[in-house]
Structure 1
Amino acid sequence: MIEKQQSYKFKVYEKIKEDIITGVIHQGEILNERKLSEELGISRTPIREALQLLNRDGWVLIETYKGAVVRTFDMEYVEKVLKVRKSLEILAVEDATNNAAEADLKYLNSILDKQEKSIIDYNPTDFMILDRQFHEKIYELSKNEILISLLGNINDIIRFFGIKALREPERNKSTLQEHRNVLNSMIKKDINSAKQDMEYHMKQTSANIYNHNSKKNNIVGKH
């Protein structure tokens, strides 16, 4: 059941999105308004509004005669998402390098220290949570609300498609080093280097997700 508050549609939106990301709801599944209304214990109006939001953000498609259908995320779609993410991440770190105070840089460094510990303890779940915290702090430091909103949804899509790929121990080690390179450039206030380091990090992350899913699905294509 969903707690009855004014923000029904947003709570429904987050629940359905999380269920899609974690595989509770499957790609291609039809989302029935009446069934969701009964399961969540609320009226169909916020369900319908939530499905419209999910359609807007690329999680479902509204099809004639079928209604809301969970999008099938093929590699072509994900590659487009990854390209947009790379551009936004570079923009974010550019502004964040300008805006970061000493306390912000220390906070980012503490996240990376925790990431290093999670590698030693082999806790990939903690590593992924910390990975997101590192990037979200950079978004926050950009002070660009539009960028923050766009990257939030994009990274949910990446989490859906790359959640298994990001559990590989060797990739975690190289990710940590790439994060440290970004932070070191931010500490030096070297904007160009910070942008280059972030671009390299995004290219490596994209290649890892693509290669992992290509092998899993026997996808052949250029990257």
Structure 2
Amino acid sequence: MTEDLTLNMDAYLPLRDVVFNTLREAILKGELKPGERLMELQLAAKLGVSRTPIREAIRMLEQEGLAVTIPRKGAEVAKMTEKDMEDVLQIREALDELAAKIACEQISEEQLEELVATMHEFEESTKTDNVKKIAEADVKFHDIIYQSTGNPKLVNMLNNLREQMYRYRVEYLKDENNYPTLMKEHKDIVEGLVRKNKMQVTETMHQHVKNQAVAVKAMIQEQE
């Protein structure tokens, strides 16, 4: 287990969320490796907390697909597999295209202005070398589209999926060679929404997800 694991304290969050954010970041950065055991006692001692918030944080990591519990062995960092990625992205593609179609009809002028501002925010974030910040800007961009549908059930499904997507999103954003393509796709999505062109938006959204799948699949194969 990495020696650099320290608790990222936040006075406004419950302890379990602080532990969750700490472990999540360590996994996404590769400080906790795929297949590495997540032993409650060891983690509790290392982070200076009791076992309860560790146990709760591990459950939250399992919901995101970042950890798995193996019978008679315990919890460990989940390995990234092509099958898991393809399953998640297949659902995301269908829901994203549905959200884009509805957004073409429902999105307001205020939401379009916010989307354009967030598109520029994403572009600026790519200059920071801060993958977490870049990922947050990308999530924010898509969230505006989801919220503009006015369909809370669809938004809830996409929010649940976002947690499972986050690991693959971060892997994709670690490679700065992907940024020009991403920025072009964001621009095309905004343009399509402004024109209320469902075909343009859904085709771009399809390509957007496909490019991510191809890139992350190659990364997974390299790690095997």
Compute the TM-score of the two structures, normalised by the length of structure 2: 0.79
TM superposition shift of 1:128: 4.8
How many residues align? The count is 212
TM superposition shift of 1:9: 2.5
Q: Which residue of 2 aligns with 1:90?
A: 97
- Which of 124, 127, 139 is the aligned partner of 1:132? 139
- Which of 6, 10, 20 is the aligned partner of 2:17? 10
Give the gaps of 5 or more residues in structure 2.
1-6
TM superposition shift of 1:211: 3.5
Task: Determine the C-alpha separation between the residues in 2 that align with 1:127 and 1:55.
Answer: 24
Task: Determine the C-alpha separation between the residues in 2 that align with 1:114 and 1:179.
Answer: 11
TM superposition shift of 1:114: 4.4
TM superposition shift of 1:101: 1.1
- Which of 165, 172, 190 is the aligned partner of 1:155? 165
Asked if 1:24 corresponds to 2:38, the answer is: no
Task: Determine the C-alpha separation between the residues in 1 that align with 2:198 and 2:87.
Answer: 26
Compute the TM-score of the two structures, normalised by the length of structure 1: 0.79
Three-state SS of the structure 1 residue aligned to 2:79 is coil
Q: Which residue of 1 aligns with 2:156?
A: 146
- Which of 65, 81, 91 is the aligned partner of 2:72? 65
Cα separation, partners in 2 of 1:21 and 1:173, compared to 1, 3 Å: same
Contact 1:36–1:47 at 8 Å: present in 2 too? yes
Task: Determine the C-alpha separation between the residues in 1 that align with 2:122 and 2:65.
Answer: 31
Q: Which residue of 2 aligns with 1:200?
A: 207
Three-state SS of the structure 1 residue aligned to 2:91 is helix
Three-state SS of the structure 2 residue aligned to 1:23 is coil
Task: Determine the C-alpha separation between the residues in 2 that align with 1:67 and 1:200.
Answer: 39
Q: Which residue of 1 aligns with 2:119?
A: 112
Give the gaps of 5 or more residues in structure 1.
none
Contact 2:65–2:164 at 8 Å: present in 1 too? no
Q: Which residue of 2 aligns with 1:189?
A: 196
Please tell me the root mean square deviation across aligned C-alpha atoms, in Å.
2.7
Task: Determine the C-alpha separation between the residues in 1 that align with 2:108 and 2:203.
Answer: 21
Task: Determine the C-alpha separation between the residues in 1 that align with 2:137 and 2:12.
Answer: 30
Task: Determine the C-alpha separation between the residues in 2 that align with 1:115 and 1:157.
Answer: 18
Task: Determine the C-alpha separation between the residues in 2 that align with 1:85 and 1:52.
Answer: 23
